[in-house]
Amino acid sequence: MIRDTVAGLETFCVLRHPRSSFLGGAVVFPGGKVDTADGEDAWLGLAADPHPRSLAFVSASASARALAIAACRETLEEAGIIPTAGTIDDLDALRAELAAHPDVGGGPGALAGALARRGQSLALGALVPFARWITPEAEQRRFDARFYLLVLPAGQIGKHDDHETTMSFWGRPSEVLARFDRGEIFLAPPTTRALELLAAAGDVAGALALAGDQSLEPICPAFIASDPPYLALPGDPSHEVPDRRIAGPTRFVLQDGRFISADAPTTTGPLAASPQEIQVSVRRST
């Protein structure tokens, strides 16, 4: 989720519960997984067509519509934000209703029924495809994650759910990255790269234009067990895919337990770039 402020572009972040089995304690963008209910016929007439570029996200297990519906549902659950055709006056009540539903998280038509009773439908076209990341093969648990941009709907604010997410905030991408550099928060590489790109975008219009330039081809980092270890992205000399699929440095080098953006070395000098060099590299790439 993004919004314009007098200070510049801000994005909405949440803190995952420290006991979460995946990325526990990390600052992330709200999200989750596709459920069976997201592709059911109950959504016919209750969801507009997804963004045209969503077709690049389709797989054998998930349609463009089901992916977008899942994104809307998870965003409502974890952040209290949802794009609809009209204004929802009782957004908190809608969220509480779904949280209390015995089949929430997989029951057929829970969100669809709640929207239908309110005469509302999902504005799936508001979800703008931004990137697609696949967990490295070295990981035991792997995910095929699609990232969207969503401009904050009018009248909505955003709030964590105190269950899967324990804290939330709006922040300028550069400020969130600075907190990561200082060791105050933990970010996963896909979140770091999204923030780097959004920091260079400047405002909502720039971010949406940037999204339109993304390849949307899957980005599957390769873990390289060197000293220090690093994740190589497509386009890096160490990756089997020769073409870049996202702007910015082509590596995430492991330093002090964190993966830091860095370009592949061109000389015998140090591998990792400084934060200032990283920002310059991202801006030049975009």
Give all domains of the chain, ordered by start, each with its CATH number.
2-220 (3.90.79.10), 221-286 (no CATH)
**CB-based contact 125:49 (threshold 8 Å):** yes
pLDDT of residue 138: 79
Question: 277 is written with which tokens?
Answer: 């060099």
User: Which position has the token pair 């508001």?
Assistant: 126
pLDDT < 70 stretches in the chain: 17-25, 101-108, 162, 267-286
d(CA 226, CA 208): 37
Nearest to 251 by CA among 218, 228, 283: 228
d(CA 4, CA 9): 5
| Model pTM score | 0.86
- How many residues does this entry show for the chain? 286
pLDDT of residue 219: 97
